[in-house]
Structure formats: C-alpha cells, structure tokens
Amino acid sequence: MRSSRELLELDKILSSASAYAVLEESKAALISLEPTEDLLEARTLLDFTEEATRLLFTLGAGRVEYFPPRGDMLERAEKGAALSCGELLSCARMLRSVRVLYDGITRLADEHIVLFCRLAEQLEFDARLEREIGDKILSEDTIADHASEKLFTIRREIRLLEERIRARLALYLAGDEKKYLQDGLVTVRDDRFVIPVKAEYKRAVRGFVHDKSQSGATVFIEPEEVLEMNNELKDLTVDEKEEEERILKDLSGRIGRMRLPLEKSLALVSEADTFFARAEYGYTLKATKPLLNAKGILDIRRGRHPLLDQKKAVPVSVSVGDTYRFLLLSGANTGGKTVTLKMCGLFCLMAACGLFVPAAEGTRLPVFRVFCDVGDSQSIEENLSTFSSHIVSLREILKEAGENSFVLIDEPGGGTDPEEGQALARAVLSALMRKGCRGIVTTHYSALKEFAYETEAIENGSMAFDASDYRPLYELKMGTPGSSNALAICTRLGLPAEIVEEARGYLSEGARTFERTLRAAEESRIRAEKIVEETENLRRDWENRLKSLEAEEQKFAKEREKFLLSSKAEARRIVAARTAEAEEILSKIEEIFKKETLSESDLIKARTLKNTLLRGTMSETEAPIRAEKLSSDAIQTGMRVLVGSMQAEGTVLSVGKEKAEVQAGSIRVKVPKDDLFAAAPQKKQEETVRIHRDITARAEVRPEINLIGMTASEMESELEKYLDSAVLANLKEVRIVHGMGTGKLRAAVHALLKKHPHVESFRLGKYGEGETGVTVATLK
C-alpha cells in the first residue's frame, strides 16, 4: 500500500522547498521530513516559518551562510589530530555561519521575533578563533608568514639563503662552466638547488649528482660550493614544517575543545536554514499561514494546488468537518474532483511540516493523521488488479483510521460492477462515519449522492460545469450533487454523435430522470447565481451613487460656509472703507473750522463736505434699524430687511421656501428666513445736524506678528486679536513668527489655527521664509 505522503505528492513539495536551502544538511532534512501529528508541534513549526518570513522579507535579515559538510573533522580534532589547512578553513566557515546568524537575529528589536531569538540564545561560537584561522590560513595548502613570529623568522632566513645560493650558482651560468651546462637555468631536485649539466661533462663540474633526465643527456649536479648552504636550507625547511604543524595542531586543538557546543550550534543553524527555505518556498507560492485545529475542521479559502501553474490554477474553497463530517464530491470527469481532494490532503500534510499553503487568509486545517486512496494502484508484482489494490487500501484505512483521522477516497467501489460498487462505497462510508473519521469522498454513483441527501453528517458538493458548452469550470459548489455529464463530454471530445445518442438510449429511465433532474438543478443554480450577481452589482452601483451624492452635498455645504464667511469679510471691508472715508471728510471739516476767520468759500466747502458725508456714510440723520423679527409669510420681494447674521440692511430680491435672496449693499446673499428682521426708519430729528467724530485712528495692520517669548495663553489672546484685525484689513496671507525652540509654541499656534473660523489653511515657512520657525496662514 502506497503511503499518503507518496499518493498526495508531498515528496515533490518537500523537494521543491529544499531547493531554497543553503546547506546540504538542511536539504536532506527537508526531503526526509515527516509530518507531525502533534498540534502544538505543528503550530510551533508554522510560527518558526512565519518568523523566518518576517526576517527575510520584512526585516531583511536571517540569511544562513554556506559551510561544507563537516564529516568527522570535529571528532578528529577533539581526539588530537591536526586538521589540514582546508579543513580549518571549513571550520572557520562554520564558526562564521553561526556568528552571522546570531548577529542577524540579535541585532533586531522586533517583538514578533520570539522563537528565533530563543534559538539564537543557544548558539555558541568563537569569533576570535574564526578570525585567527582566517588570518593564519591563506588557502587550502598555505599558511601565512605571520601565523607566528618563529615561522616568519624561518621563512625570512629561507628566502635570504635561497638568494645566496642562486647568486652563487649564477656564477656557473655566466662563468667558464657555462659551456658545460645544458641550459642557463637553476633548478631544484630533492629540495636542493642544482644546475643542469651535459652528461659528457659531468666530471668537469665538482659536486654531487642528484638526478638525470629521462633521455640521459642531462645530469643535475649540486656543486660542492653550495653543499653546506643546501644542507642549511634543508634544516630550515624541516624547521618550517615543524612550525606549520605546530600552528595547525594548535588551531585544531582549539576547534576540538569546542566540538560539542559547535556541533549543537551547527545543528541549530541547519534547522534555521530549513525554516528560511520553507519561508522562501511559501513566498514564491504566495502562500499564507493556515490556522490549525484538533477538531478535524478543514476550511480552505481560495486554495490552489501547489503543483499546478499558479497563474492558471482556479482557486477552490472547500469546507468539511464542522457541521458535517464528510463531503461527497461529484461532478463531471476532468472537472477537478481528484485535484481538489488531493489538494485538501496535501495542505494538511504541508501544514504539519511547517509549510504555508497557497490559499487565502483564514484557511483552517486539522492536524490529523491523513489516510488516502487515490488513483490507480494496481500492482503486477503482487498480482493485484485496480479493484483489488483499492480494496487492499480500504482494508488498511478501515483498520487504522479513527476519530483523529482525515480520510480521502477517490471513487470507492470503482473497477467492478456498478451496482455492487456503489453498495460497497456506501458501506465503507458508513463504517468510516461510525469510527468518527472526517474526510472527502469523490463519486459518480447516484445512490451515493442520494445517501448523502439522507444522512445529516454528509454534505453533497459538486464541481461546476457549463451546460452550454460542456466545459468544466473547476469551481466547487456546496449543497448540491453534480451530474457526471459523461455523454455530453464525449460529444465535446469528438465521439461520433450517433454513438452518443445510441448510448443515451441504453440508459435506464431512472438514470435518465436523475441526470435530467441534476442537470436542471445545475442550470437553475447557475441562473440564480447570475441573478444574485447582477443584483449585487446593482446594489453596489446605487451605493456608489449615494456616496457620490453625499460627497457632493458635503462639498456644497463647505462651499456655502466658505461663501458666507467671504461675504462677512467683504462686508467688514466695506464698513472699514466707509469709516475711513468718513474719517477723512471729518478731518477736512475740522481743518476748515480751525481757522480764526471763515470766508464764504470755507463755509461752502464745509457744507459740501457735510453733504458728501450724509450721502455716503451713516450719520445721526439716518434711520436706525429696528430688530423686529419677521414671520415667514410676511417676507415679500422688495421689502427692506435687516440680515441678523451680517448686521447689515438690504432689500429682498426673491423669496424661496426656506431662504430669501437679499441685496445688502454690493453683496447678494441667500439667507434663512428666520435670520431676517424688519427694518423701519425712526422719525427724523428736527435739530441741526451735528457730526461727531469718535473713531480711533487705525494703525496699519502688518502682514506679520511675532509671538516669540510668549506663553500659550498670552499667544492665544494676541493671535486672536491679530487675526481679526488682519481680516478687517482684508489681508489674504499672514506670517506668524513663533520660533523653533521646543516646538510647544508652534503646536499651540497650529491648534488655534485649525479651529479658527477665518483661517482657510496654513503651512510651515519654506526656505527663505523662516522654515519651521514661521507659520504662513491663508485667510478666508
């Protein structure tokens, strides 16, 4: 019997995930990973993967650095063996990998990284030893000169001695002995410097023969003059090797003494690498973290089988194990029943391995033992037919499955007589329900679909099928069984129509009736869904229109408020202008009457100025406004009225249901009727007109106010008065100097400006305007 792991292709998933691992040990661990059946352990694995995802793709940390498989080098080092240069460099890479992981995790201050912080606390490494190995070992077979003072001294002496030997031998190459030499090169044989001499002249050069060429034409002679120097060089070379061995042994001993903590740390690094690989694999699938439970509830939201092309895969939502324990899945061939069934089982196994699943947020999965019977499992070696192999699988499932089991069976009872097959399928499904299992079963049997209707713990589901062109839609519809549509699919696949029609005639009346009923129900469901979709689209459309109207209403209200404020400001500006005009006229009249003697022309001029004042400004001869409120019905076109909110008199131009349009001076406004009062003139006084000048001279309003050094309360009083004066002076923009300081005064200024009715907007100063020490306000 093939395992669920193999049938659901978990091996392919783990192999794909292992490709993202850095270490060989991590790759092997992922490939051989077994799903856990412990809920707490599975949740911990997923939490690790979640933190790894955050480290990689949010915080940009957590990469594991590669180091080669360690083999037995740590064990040999612990026993006192001297490791080679290459092995020590591998050990340095191990130490570095541990250190880099530790630094990458501990340098972060993220409250969401908990499990990896605990893992990092267990890591042990020796940064000093790592650095020393890197400094002393240059390559796989080279130790640095400065690995020790002694080695540096020996190698310096060797170089100097070699130079002396070469210099002495160079005399042979340039002197009388040159004619005896085969070529002008100094070479080395058995770690001793020699010169190549022609064989026939070997006795002409005093020295020791160390070697000869393959042809015998050349002999390599060490001249007597360099014998002692070569002997000394040999001794120095021996000293060099001894010092190198001492250095390697010393470094190896330090590695060996930390074997156990280092091996533990390397195992933790490898474990972290597996979670980073899980995270990267999940990221490529656009997968999410599922919610695990021990109740057997499977609720997949828009799931996609990870082995399908993610750009073409149609998302499927599946739910089982909550209100009903089994889902009976039916529908057309090639409609996606088996893929959906395998996806559900595979998601459970993936989650139990700490892998995210390609589905939407909120997907719930059970941590149950998964049993599976999918596909054609016939075995020639065991002499099992398709039917027999399925029976063997069902026998094992019925034997092993229990309450904590999730069972997936693809078309039970297939491969034999349909009547006996559907009877067997029903019996197997009933037995699994009695054992308390949960799961999904696919079928084409009508009797099994009827059984699901009759049984409370089973829910029918079907893969959607487009009846118009016999095309599968790969969508799961809950609550209704699906028609197999085998004959319709045969027509779409090109089987001769006459054969299909003949086959249709062989169907029993009951089968034809049942299929027609299912097909009609499917068509009705599709029509109903289209109507629901159209209705939903209309609802959204009207909601959008309503929101648009509400936005327009709010915009209109803001524009109205802005207009009213602008009107008030204009009225204040007009009043200020008329007041200034009156002040100027009064000043001219006073200048005339300051003269000791007045001529007739002075009196005419004063009278002319008085008449100008009476025509253009308010005087004691004008009729004051009586604030008598008007009823809505009493307001008529052409009536003289007082606008209460503006404290200005005007003439009614038109009357609406709730508002009236009033001409107040040069301003035309619409105001509520309850803001209008009757304006009736009083009796004119008979006394001689007396003009009083009691208006304080107005200082020019500067476009800037300095608030530096003030407290918040002092600032509020000064700024309020200044803004009122600026509005009356018809300033459009003012500068408020508050300084940089601690920022408290600036914050208080901004708080006041936000709620002030005459301020339209404000901003901090730009470069050249004072920057953050100045706020520029625009007035309405």
Q: For residue range 333-362, what is the model confidence (pLDDT) as tens digits?
A: 777 888 999 999 999 999 999 999 999 999
- What amino acid occupies position 743? G
Residue 456's pLDDT is what?
Answer: 85
DSSP, res 674: G
pTM equals 0.62
Q: What is the pLDDT of residue 603?
A: 66
pLDDT at 293 over 50: yes
Between CA 500 and CA 492 the distance in angstroms is 11
Pick from 9-13, 432-436, 635-639: least confident: 635-639
Q: What is the pLDDT of residues 45-84, one digit of tens each?
A: 999 999 999 999 998 887 899 999 988 999 999 999 999 9
Band of pLDDT at residue 218, cut at 50, 70 and 90: confident
In the predicted model, what is the mean pLDDT of residues 137-143? Answer: 92
Asked if residue 184 has pLDDT above 80, the reply is no
Of the segments 414-423, 575-584, 729-738, which one has the largest average pLDDT value?
729-738
pLDDT value at 260 more than 90: yes
Mean pLDDT of the chain: 83
pLDDT at residue 91, rounded to an integer: 95
Tell me the C-alpha distance between 30 and 17, whole Å. 7
What's the rounded Cα separation, in Å, for the pair 50 and 53? 5
**C-alpha–C-alpha distance, residues 315 and 355, integer Å:** 19
pLDDT of residue 201: 73
Q: What was the pLDDT predicted at 487? A: 59
Which tokens hold the place of 390?
């399925």
Q: Which one is predicted more confidently, 773 or 2?
A: 773
Q: In what order do the strands lie in the sheet with 326-331?
A: 369-373, 405-410, 438-442, 326-331, 458-466, 471-478
Q: Tokens standing for 230? A: 């070569």
- Residue 622 predicted with pLDDT over 50: no
Mean pLDDT check: name the lowest of 257-271, 558-572, 749-763. 558-572
Query: Which of 98, 102, 79 minimizes the C-alpha distance to 255?
Result: 79
pLDDT at 522: 62
H or E element in which residue 754 lies? helix 744-755
pLDDT band at 694 (very low <50, low <70, confident <90, very high): very low
> Is the predicted pLDDT of residue 270 greater than 80, yes or no?
yes
Yes or no: say if 445 and 461 are a contact pair by the CB < 8 Å rule: no
Across 492-514, average pLDDT: 64
- Which of 66, 42, 61, 64 has its CA nearest to residue 51? 61
Position 379 confidence tier, pLDDT thresholds 50, 70, 90: very low
Tell me what pLDDT residue 381 has. 41
Q: Where does the pLDDT of residue 383 fall: very low under 50, low under 70, confident under 90, or very high at 90 and above? A: very low
Residue with token string 């992922």: 30
pLDDT tens, 471-499?
A: 667 778 877 776 665 656 666 666 776 77
What is the pairing mode between strands 733-737 and 704-706?
A: parallel
- Per-residue model confidence (pLDDT) at position 643: 82
Among 517, 556, 691, 518, residue whose Cα is nearest residue 620? 691
Q: How confident is the model at residue 146 (pLDDT cuts 50, 70, 90)?
A: very high
pLDDT score at 216:
79
Residue pointed to by tokens 């002197």: 175
Q: Tell me which residue of 231, 226, 232, 220 sits closest to 188, measured CA to CA.
A: 220
Q: Which strand (E) or helix (H) includes residue 137? A: strand 137-139
Please give the distance of CA 92 from its chain centroid, rounded to a whole number: 35
State the residue for tokens 């093939």.
2
d(CA 188, CA 194): 6
At residue 414, the 3 state secondary structure works out as coil
What pLDDT is attached to residue 521? Answer: 62
Cα distances (angstroms) measured from residue 735 to each of 368, 389, 468, 504, 566: 71, 89, 73, 90, 20
Q: Quickly state the pLDDT bin for 382 (edges 50, 70, 90).
A: very low
Buried b (16+ CB within 10 A) or exposed e, 132-141: bbbebbeeee
Residue 507 has a pLDDT of 62
pLDDT score at 586: 82
**pLDDT single digits (tens) 16-25:** 999 999 999 9
Buried b (16+ CB within 10 A) or exposed e, 741-752: eeeebbebbbeb
CA distance 602 to 592: 7
Strands 369-373 and 405-410: parallel
pLDDT band for position 515 (50/70/90)? low
Separation CA 187–CA 311 (nearest Å): 68
